[in-house]
Amino acid sequence: MKPIAAAERTKEITPFIVMEIMEKIHEMEAEGIHVVHLEIGEPDCDTPECVKTAAANAFACNETSYTHSLGDIRLRRAICEYYKETYEVDITPGRILVTSGTSPAMFLLFSAMLNPGDEVIISDPHYACYPNFIKFAQGVPVRVQVHESEGFLYTPEAIAAKITPRTKAILINSPSNPTGNVMSKQRMQEISSLADSHDIAIISDEIYHGLVYSGKEHSILEITDHAFVFNGFSKLFAMTGLRLGYLITPEYFVRPLQVLQQNFFISANSVIQIAGASALKNAKKETQEMRVVYNRRREYMIKRLRDMGLGITVEPTGAFYVFANAKHISMDSYTLAMDILENAHVGVTPGIDFGPSGEGYIRFSYANSMENIEEGMNRLQRYLNSKR
Q: How many domains does the chain have?
A: 2
Residues 300 and 277 in one domain: no
pLDDT of 9 reads 86
Among 255, 281, 307, residue at a domain's last position: 281
* Single-letter amino acid, residue 195: A
The residue-averaged pLDDT of 208-231 equals 96
Among 264, 281, 298, residue at a domain's last position: 281
Of 97, 76, 91, nearest to 254 by C-alpha is 97
Residues 39 and 61 in one domain: no
% the chain with pLDDT above 90:
94
Indicate the SS3 state at residue 262: helix
% the chain with pLDDT above 70:
100
Distance CA 368, CA 228 (A): 31
Q: Is residue 367 included in any domain, yes or no?
A: yes
Residues 221 and 306 in one domain: no
Distances in Å between the alpha carbon of 146 and those of 206, 219, 285, 356, 368? 19, 21, 35, 11, 28
The residue-averaged pLDDT of 344-372 equals 97
Q: What is the CATH number of the domain that holds 228?
A: 3.40.640.10
Residues 246 and 135 in one domain: yes
The residue-averaged pLDDT of 241-245 equals 97
Residues 134 and 199 in one domain: yes
Give the pLDDT confidence of 55-114 residue by residue, as tens digits. Answer: 999 999 999 999 999 999 999 999 999 999 999 999 999 999 999 999 999 999 999 999
For residue 351, what is the DSSP state?
G
The residue-averaged pLDDT of 3-15 equals 87
Residues 36 and 64 in one domain: no
For residue 318, what is the DSSP state?
B
Among 226, 251, 281, residue at a domain's last position: 281
Residue 388 has pLDDT above 80, yes or no: no
Q: What is the CATH number of the domain that holds 298?
A: 3.90.1150.10
Q: How does residue 11 score in pLDDT terms, banded at 50, 70 and 90? A: confident
In this structure, the dihedral spanned by the alpha carbons of residues 293, 239, 347 and 351, taken in order and rounded to 10 degrees, is: -90
Range of the domain at 359: 8-46+285-387
Distance CA 351, CA 18 (A): 10
Q: Is residue 1 included in any domain, yes or no?
A: no
* Single-letter amino acid, residue 314: V
Give the pLDDT confidence of 159-179 residue by residue, as tens digits. Answer: 999 999 999 999 999 999 999
Pairing verdict, β 361-365 and 140-145: unpaired
For residue 376, what is the DSSP state?
H
pLDDT of 127 reads 96
Residues 192 and 95 in one domain: yes
Residue spans of beta strands (DSSP E) within the chain: 36-37, 96-99, 119-124, 140-145, 167-173, 201-205, 227-232, 245-248, 321-325, 346-347, 349-350, 361-365
Q: How does residue 305 score in pLDDT terms, banded at 50, 70 and 90? A: very high
The residue-averaged pLDDT of 16-39 equals 94
Work out the number of other CB atoms within 10 angstroms of the CB of residue 335. Answer: 12
The residue-averaged pLDDT of 133-152 equals 96
Q: Is residue 2 included in any domain, yes or no?
A: no
Residues 248 and 347 in one domain: no
Residue 12 has pLDDT above 90, yes or no: no
Residues 241 and 352 in one domain: no
